[in-house]
Amino acid sequence: MEIVAFGVQTDEQPYLERAFAGRHQVRSLDVFLNRDTAPIARGYEIVSSSVSADLGADVLQTLAAGGTKMIAQRSTGFNNIDLEAAADLGMSVGRVAHYSPHAVAEFAWALALAVDRRLIRATNRTRNFDFRLDGLMGRDLRGRTAGVLGTGRIGTAFTRIAHGFGMNLLGWDLAENPHCVELGMKYVARERLFAEADLVSLHLPLTDDTRHLVDAAALAAMKDDAILINTSRGGLVDTAALVDTLKAGRLTGVGLDVYEEEAAFFFFDKSLDIISDDTLARLMTFGNVLVTSHQAYFTQDAVGQIIEATVANVEDYLAHRTNENMLVTRGQLPKAAP
């Protein structure tokens, strides 16, 4: 069987093709799946999508009309997929429930250290042979407080690193994680975490309840010299409110690997375009803000695990089996929400 895979990154393609070798052929496309590109999938029973795909009801209808019966998304997040529409169309939808949590946790710390120690500003200076230290003073993290919102696998990995730095640990989640408690984490109300943390890191899924979790009120509660890191989903942060906070001269630094409207920009070369998104354009002007293009997961280890899980999802679908990754199985939603 031939499978069409959308949104395949150049570095990802050999991993994908090797994993399916001897099983199925893969047509790898660098374009992302949306209403304009969905007709390309006509005749393909199985379509693999990336986290940047638009799999709303209209796109799913186009895919189903073209013969697609299974969506194998190469990501953990699935807020871009209309699961009820997929079920109504009799489709199967799989994602990757788990992959290396260390990839994202370590990248979150890379962002935190880069903004704390002014590494981007320092690198830009030294490239111009300016070796002054003016404006480059950072802070020791030891003894300061890390606030972790979301203490699942990635949040726990982030917490272990914070513990290694000798930081005090505050956590917020629906349920306490005993592994984090063993490390000394104290679970507190969200408002207290924002008020007391020197470093706030987000490790939550995007849902109706978590959208704009970091809003104007949360930002106002944070310390003037706090650091905010988001490697989860852009919609967790009210970016307009964040810009206003930064314009007021507050927050030591911000590291963002995700952005609310990233689908129009991330993974594309926009260097020759006029950027019409005023919020993103303004965000990029702040010297204490570091924005990367949703690359926290992008390690050899994590990508390999994502693709292995995608292959397993395809094989289980073809064998009429189910697994923990299946969000919709031949038109049937699970009894409990994933």
The residue annotated as part of the active site, out of 262, 308, 321, 330, is 262
The residue annotated as part of the active site, out of 233, 260, 315, 321, is 233
CA–CA gap between residue 187 and residue 12 (Å, rounded): 38
**Active-site annotation holds for 262:** yes
> Strand 326-328 relative to strand 92-94: parallel, antiparallel, unpaired?
antiparallel
**Active-site annotation holds for 321:** no
Active-site positions? 233, 262
